[in-house]
Amino acid sequence: MKRANQFDVLPRSVKEREVFVRWLDASASLWNETNYARRQAFLEDDESVWDADTGSLEGKYKGVLSSSVAQQIIRKNSEAWRSFFDLNEKYHAEKLDKRPSPPGYWGNEEDGRVLRTYVRNDQYTIEYGKRSRLEVPIGSELKDELGLNRNQRLRIEIAGDPKWSGEQNRLEIVYDETAESFRAFQPVTINDSRLDSPLASEEAALDVGANTLVACTVSTGHQLLYEGRNLFEQFRETTEQIAHYQSRLEDQRKSSKRIDRLYRKRTNQRNHAQDSLVRDLVECLHDEGVSTLYVGDITGVLDTHWSPRVNEKTHNFWAFRRFINRLEDVCEEYGITVEEESEAWTSQECPECGERENTIRHEDSLTCPCGFEGHADLVASESFLRQQNSAVRAMARPVYLKWNKHEWREHHSPPSIAVETTANEECTNQSTTASGNVALGEAQND
């Protein structure tokens, strides 16, 4: 199983930064020249792309990049072309609707290049500690500028703690123009079964929403509820800032560096909370001995809703598909199987008598003529779990968790009732309107 560590690369001196930028820029140049030669062979000369003279290009750039890095750039380009040919075959076999395009360029000298490079797994080292360091190979020309000897590598400070340990794979380093920082991604291969629990036999089910981000019921009787209103309000505040600065743009400009940073801030805040929730939840499930986790088929949840505020939550704020993908990744880590099943009627079914037609869902509560009243999302997760023919033991007192900008913390009182509702709720307050459907067009990338 593969996972990735991410950290910031921090060239400190002006000279170190200049050399590092030249190293990345030369990587982009080599990619572009390699790609140009292969595109010419493919589009105009009717020759094999593999006949391009990549050897001379490697020789041209190894003085800046080093031979190993130059080889990795060419190899990465070869991988991109193989992927293109595979997709092209599928297109001609009518397995794809859209014709694929050949690999593109990493920008150009006038408009700016995409600064990126790749380092072979055995050509870099990372030392973590009080002053974490990354060592990478550079060419002899850059070594001379920095006063390094033939056997030395460029040593740069990094920031960030590794989440994964295992066999390291090819390192990717990119320059994030919006954040004005260098970032490195280190894929590692870890043992598939290192966190499996051989005694795990319990089951759990999730109800995923927006006001309540996740309600979970475990067959042991344990229940968890992750409350999301404060996160959504934070998201809205940043959205309103984006809209404010968009209204001040001139000359038909669509964005600015400040707006791009706000979009990045909004996405990063949400992703941080979402990833922390997944990690916290899965660790709890693993401790409970869960082997199978059921999640609802979210297709219906993503349908357009009459309320712009609900649409903003379901489509822009919570990013359901990203959440499910992340959940599956972390569950795989812990040996927990994730199964998507229909959760029809779970939001209306009374856990006491099984009534569906006459129950009333209002805001965060579900009431039944039999006298039952409970938190609607927790009830939905419990009903969903029972639908899977799972034996559910007596319910313990639910654990309520709220986000404090750093971690999910337990609160001993239930969340307050709010007026807005989620897209899959039976009863809604149709007086609820958004304060303006602003700054949402770019959120597809969040």
For residue 368, count CB atoms less than 10 angstroms from its CB and return exposed for 0-12, middle for 13-18, buried for 19 or more. buried
194 within some domain? no
What would the mean pLDDT of 225-232 be, rounded to a whole number?
A: 87
Rounded CA Rg of the chain: 26
Query: Using one digit for the tens of pLDDT, what is the confidence trace for 171-216?
Result: 999 998 767 889 999 998 877 654 555 556 899 999 887 678 899 9
196 within some domain? no
Do 174 and 100 fall into the same domain? yes
Do 421 and 279 fall into the same domain? yes
In this prediction the pTM is 0.61
Dist CA 446 CA 232 (whole Å): 14
Per-residue CA distances from 323 to 207, 233, 278 (Å): 12, 19, 8
Residue-level pLDDT at 309: 54
Do 146 and 240 fall into the same domain? no
Do 161 and 286 fall into the same domain? no
How does residue 421 score in pLDDT terms, banded at 50, 70 and 90?
A: very low
435 within some domain? yes
Do 296 and 176 fall into the same domain? no
Which two structure tokens, joined as six digits, stand for 228?
């999301």
Do 22 and 68 fall into the same domain? yes
Ranges 82-86, 181-185, 315-319, 396-400: which has the least confidence? 315-319
Alpha helix stretches (DSSP H) within 52-109: 54-65, 67-92
Burial annotation 313-334 (CB, 10 A radius, 16+ → b, else e): bbbbbbbbeebbebbbebbbbb
Count of structural domains, the chain:
2
Residue 47 is classified by DSSP as -
Dist CA 204 CA 151 (whole Å): 55
How does residue 234 score in pLDDT terms, banded at 50, 70 and 90?
A: confident
27 within some domain? yes
One-letter amino acid for residue 54 of the chain: T
292 within some domain? yes
Residue-level pLDDT at 416: 46
Dist CA 32 CA 61 (whole Å): 12
Residue-level pLDDT at 445: 45
Angle between helices 229-247 and 257-287 (to 10 degrees): 170
Are 348 and 374 a contacting pair, CB within 8 Å?
no
Final residue in a domain of this structure, among 163, 189, 215? 189
37 within some domain? yes
Q: Does pLDDT of 355 surpass 50?
A: yes
Residue-level pLDDT at 305: 44
229 within some domain? yes
Final residue in a domain of this structure, among 168, 189, 210? 189
How does residue 310 score in pLDDT terms, banded at 50, 70 and 90?
A: low
Closest CA relative to residue 238, chosen from 260, 219, 255, 221: 260
Do 274 and 418 fall into the same domain? yes
Domain that holds residue 383: 202-445
414 within some domain? yes
Do 330 and 372 fall into the same domain? yes
How does residue 431 score in pLDDT terms, banded at 50, 70 and 90?
A: very low
Dist CA 430 CA 435 (whole Å): 14
Query: Using one digit for the tens of pLDDT, what is the confidence trace for 111-159?
Result: 778 899 999 999 999 998 888 999 999 999 999 999 999 999 999 999 9
Final residue in a domain of this structure, among 154, 189, 224? 189
Dist CA 262 CA 239 (whole Å): 8
Burial annotation 277-296 (CB, 10 A radius, 16+ → b, else e): bbbbbbebbbebbbbbbbbb
Do 245 and 168 fall into the same domain? no
What are the DSSP calls for 372-425, one per residue?
-EEEHHHHHHHHHHHHTT-------PPEEEEE-SS-EEEESSPPPP-S---TT-
Do 268 and 356 fall into the same domain? yes
Do 176 and 215 fall into the same domain? no
Which two structure tokens, joined as six digits, stand for 356?
């569906």
Do 185 and 78 fall into the same domain? yes
Angle between helices 67-92 and 14-43 (to 10 degrees): 40
